[in-house]
Structure 1
Amino acid sequence: MERDDELNFAGRMAELRTALGMSQSELARRMVERGYESYSQTSVSRTEKGDRPIRLGEARALAEILGSDIESMMRGTPVSEYIHSVAKTRKAIEKSMFDAVLALWDFDRLKEEVDALTLTLSLIEDDAPGFTEAHRDLGWLRQLLLPTEAVAAWAAEIAGSGRDLTHAELLVSDIQRIRKLAGGDGLHQAEA
């Protein structure tokens, strides 16, 4: 059984056992009668919590004891499906939050990289081939060196707005907004 099927089965198992007025010990006793000698109240408890995998033969025996079938028990109930949806959504939110933190860490690292590029360019002669283009490109990069907190606040605004623009369009149209969130020009000052 797949993990979702096992969780649905476990939730349905607890619901049916309770509806029948059967204790975990009684269910374990009936499993022992069917040849599952090591099946105990602890086995029932761990299975119902989803902490113990369900073997196919056990699933068949449990379903029969509880007056059901494996297929019905794997479908789950509205409550077990709701609980599963909540857990799945929670994991997705946690992942998104962690991804946002990683993106901001990466942004800070890239600001340091632009500082290093600035230093490198300062060591190159002004009349070297390509210097003008390199200086222009560096100027554009330096405009993007805004405080991380302002970038995070801007990202939150954009996420909540539902705007559908490409990365470049979004950045060009909102650079002034990010500076405003930074409380001024927002330019990152690098040592040259």
Structure 2
Amino acid sequence: MVDEGLDREGDRWVAENVKRLREQRSWSQSELARRMVAAGATNYNQMTVSRTEKGERTVSVGELLILAKVLETFVIDLLQSPPANDIVELSYAVQNKIQSIKEGMEELYELQLTLALKADSYPFGKTLPPFERVIEGLVTTTPDEIVEDVKADRAEKIEIDRLRDDKRLKREDPIAELEHEKGPFVTAMMEVYGVLDPEAS
């Protein structure tokens, strides 16, 4: 037998998620209803969407499948609690950013190689030695060095923040502000970015 409390809570989660995803797309309730009908839902109108988002009706499995398709998400995302969905969405965002950085690193390597090849064929002679050194620095900069530079810049900002007397300005690094309430994930991130001494954790 299904716990009625859990069933009602599940309806509420579906309601909140449908409304959240619809509003993210700037769709009216009527627009969502129109798209649901176009995707195969029957007897679906603005009032159906309104009652769904208020948690006044239970959504069938078939309807969930169509909603997931129309809202371009997964059925599980409609059934999860909103806080869990926030974590899922943030996880996707971080994954996408990591992938973007990886692609950027590949593009950087290709640009560096192109620059190196063109520079090797250019007769610099003794006229532009400073520029040669600049090019050498550019083509020899590795992703690891970039990461270390980012960590060093962040550590410097945190140190400057600690030296400031005006508490209103002590908001340079959002991670540092969490030091008094850090959990395992924040602790791991603080260690990687040099905000926290691993031996002190």
- More RCO (CA 8 Å, sep 6+): 1
Q: Scaled by the length of structure 1, what TM-score is found?
A: 0.39
Q: Scaled by the length of structure 2, what TM-score is found?
A: 0.37
Larger Cα-atom Rg: 1
